[in-house]
């Protein structure tokens, strides 16, 4: 990996008021038209632009973002990357993403800090252990790595957890995915943005799409706060605002938007070197490279677009944390925030044609789309470039809500949404 900046140049730029930095990505005035417009400058939108250029040679492409890159869920998430799902369709999707993450820093020539520190999903009773065994078997059959651990094996990996038999939910064992881990959220967005920009893609920030331009029932461009921009084809990757965007094209999506909250503590010395999740407590956590504990839980119970934290969820998630690891009771909380996530009835994403000509969708990732960013981008790029599904995205077409071929991961692997 190469760097343009030596330690000396960093020092010199500090003294010069940082006037010598090259821009990491371009900041153009939008052209009147592009071959492809991607709405949403989160991880999925930026990855789509990058793979349009890399896999399909399409560079007359614009990413249009209403705020700043990664300012949506990509910059608000707890960065867990894993592929421990149940159905073969899900493993094909999420393990593809995991494999892309494994080579991503090299591919983008930018360190996305993917740390394969493994993930423990705790179980707390014999019936839960049976469900965990079923999941491990399914993952292994579907080609993802998974192991079933005893309580003693869990203790060896994460001794700070509460192994008391008097705990509210005593630890019985865990599912372990060794290749899972965490990445650096901003770096994923920035890495894709830099690489897409270098390939010739226009990255347009502070530009909101306010409507679609439709001709003869086909989407042929977008109206934005920076004017009209026409396009051969449009892709939308706007997460919590997917229903809003779809409505502009006269579509109603089977999506409900909720706030999902997360927390980070003050920095402490290393206490855990893996990701630990207890579905029973509804809490998961890991430790960032800076030392802060990155803590998450379940969805707010009421649908909303309120992108902020609240005290009831803080109490529920942190009570779970302290029960999982009582020694963390005195750690101080540093920050608390929320993002708006888009949840489908079967807790799997929608990737495919929208039902209106010229508009393709990548949405419905709910609480778990950070881990899928490289695959989501790859698959939407394939759709936009060829007009056809990639074999991995085909089962995730929105028509499954008409045919009934759901991929119900909430029921199968017990994911939180």
Interface positions with ligand FAD (CB under 6 A): 39-45, 64-67, 71-74, 76-80, 208-209, 237-239, 241, 245, 260-262, 296, 339, 341, 365, 367-371
CB of 338 to ligand FAD, least distance (A): 6
Residue (365 or 378) nearer to ligand FAD, CB: 365
* Cα distance between residue 196 and residue 201, in whole Å: 5
CB of 205 to ligand FAD, least distance (A): 9
CB of 14 to ligand FAD, least distance (A): 30
* Assigned token pair, 193: 């943005």
CB nearest ligand FAD: which residue?
Answer: 42
Identify which of 362, 352, 353, 39 has the alpha carbon closest to the alpha carbon of residue 218.
Answer: 353
Token look-up 């309120």 returns 306
Identify which of 304, 310, 312, 318 has the alpha carbon closest to the alpha carbon of residue 259.
Answer: 304
**C-beta separation of 26 from 202 below 8 A:** yes
CB of 72 to ligand FAD, least distance (A): 2
* Assigned token pair, 373: 């960013």
Phi-psi region of 53 (alpha: psi -120 to 50; beta: other; left: phi over 0): alpha
Q: Quickly count helices (H) and strands (E) in the chain.
A: 12, 18
CB of 64 to ligand FAD, least distance (A): 5
Residue (41 or 173) nearer to ligand FAD, CB: 41
Residue (85 or 370) nearer to ligand FAD, CB: 370
Residue (45 or 173) nearer to ligand FAD, CB: 45
Residue (3 or 42) nearer to ligand FAD, CB: 42
* Cα distance between residue 273 and residue 138, in whole Å: 26
CB of 103 to ligand FAD, least distance (A): 18
CB of 224 to ligand FAD, least distance (A): 7
Q: Which residues pair with 336 in a beta bridge?
A: 263
Tell me how far CA of residue 313 lies from CA of 26, 73, 272, 329, in angstroms: 39, 18, 23, 17
**C-beta separation of 340 from 364 below 8 A:** no
Tell me how far CA of residue 226 lies from CA of 32, 42, 67, 188, 241, in angstroms: 11, 19, 13, 27, 19
* Cα distance between residue 39 and residue 211, in whole Å: 11
Q: Which residues pair with 219 in a beta bridge?
A: 214
CB of 231 to ligand FAD, least distance (A): 14
Token look-up 């993002």 returns 339
CA angle in degrees (0–180, nearest 5) for 130-171-288: 110
* Cα distance between residue 109 and residue 72, in whole Å: 24
Residue (235 or 339) nearer to ligand FAD, CB: 339
Residue (262 or 407) nearer to ligand FAD, CB: 262
CB of 77 to ligand FAD, least distance (A): 3
Residue (365 or 396) nearer to ligand FAD, CB: 365
CB atoms within 10 A of CB 100: 18
Residue (364 or 395) nearer to ligand FAD, CB: 364
φ, ψ for residue 237 (rounded to 5)?
A: -135, 75
Helix axes 88-102, 373-386, angle to 10 degrees: 100
CB of 267 to ligand FAD, least distance (A): 19
Residue (39 or 137) nearer to ligand FAD, CB: 39
């Amino acid at each position: 990996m190469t760097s343009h900046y030596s330690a000396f140049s960093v020092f010199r730029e500090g003294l010069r008021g940082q006037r010598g930095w090259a821009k990491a990505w371009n900041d153009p005035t939008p052209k009147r038209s592009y071959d492809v417009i991607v709405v949403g400058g989160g991880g999925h939108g930026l990855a789509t632009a990058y793979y349009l250029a890399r896999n399909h040679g399409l560079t007359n492409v614009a990413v249009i973002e209403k705020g700043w890159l990664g300012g949506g869920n990509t910059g608000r998430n707890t960065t867990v990357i894993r592929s421990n799902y149940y159905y073969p369709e899900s493993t094909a999707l999420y393990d593809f993403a995991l494999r892309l993450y494994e080579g991503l820093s090299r591919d983008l020539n930018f360190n996305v800090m993917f740390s394969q520190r493994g993930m423990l999903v705790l179980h707390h009773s014999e019936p839960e252990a049976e469900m965990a065994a079923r999941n491990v078997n399914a993952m292994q059959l579907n080609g993802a790595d998974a192991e079933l651990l005893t309580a003693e094996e869990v203790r060896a990996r994460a001794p700070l957890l509460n192994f008391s038999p008097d705990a509210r939910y005593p630890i019985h064992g865990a599912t372990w995915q060794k290749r899972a881990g965490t990445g650096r959220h901003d770096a994923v967005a920035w890495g894709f943005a830099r690489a897409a920009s270098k390939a010739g893609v226009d990255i347009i920030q502070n530009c909101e799409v306010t409507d679609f331009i439709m001709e003869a029932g086909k989407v042929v461009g977008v109206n934005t706060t920076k004017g009209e921009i026409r396009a051969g084809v449009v892709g939308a990757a706007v997460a919590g605002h997917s229903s809003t965007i779809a409505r502009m094209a006269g579509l109603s999506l089977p999506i409900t938007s909720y706030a999902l909250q997360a927390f980070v503590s003050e920095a402490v010395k290393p206490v855990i070197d893996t990701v630990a999740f207890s579905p029973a407590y509804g809490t998961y956590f890991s430790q960032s490279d800076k030392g802060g504990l990155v803590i998450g839980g379940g969805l707010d119970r009421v649908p909303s677009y309120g992108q902020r934290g609240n005290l009831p969820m803080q109490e529920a998630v942190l009570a779970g944390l302290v029960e999982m690891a009582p020694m963390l009771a005195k750690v101080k909380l540093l920050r608390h925030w929320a993002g708006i996530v888009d949840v489908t009835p079967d807790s799997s994403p929608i990737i495919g044609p929208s039902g209106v000509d010229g508009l393709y969708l990548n949405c419905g990732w709910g609480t778990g789309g950070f881990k899928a960013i490289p695959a989501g981008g790859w698959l939407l790029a394939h759709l936009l470039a060829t007009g056809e599904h990639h074999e991995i995205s085909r089962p995730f077409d929105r028509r499954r809500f008409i045919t009934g071929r759901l991929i119900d991961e909430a029921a199968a692997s017990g994911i939180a949404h």
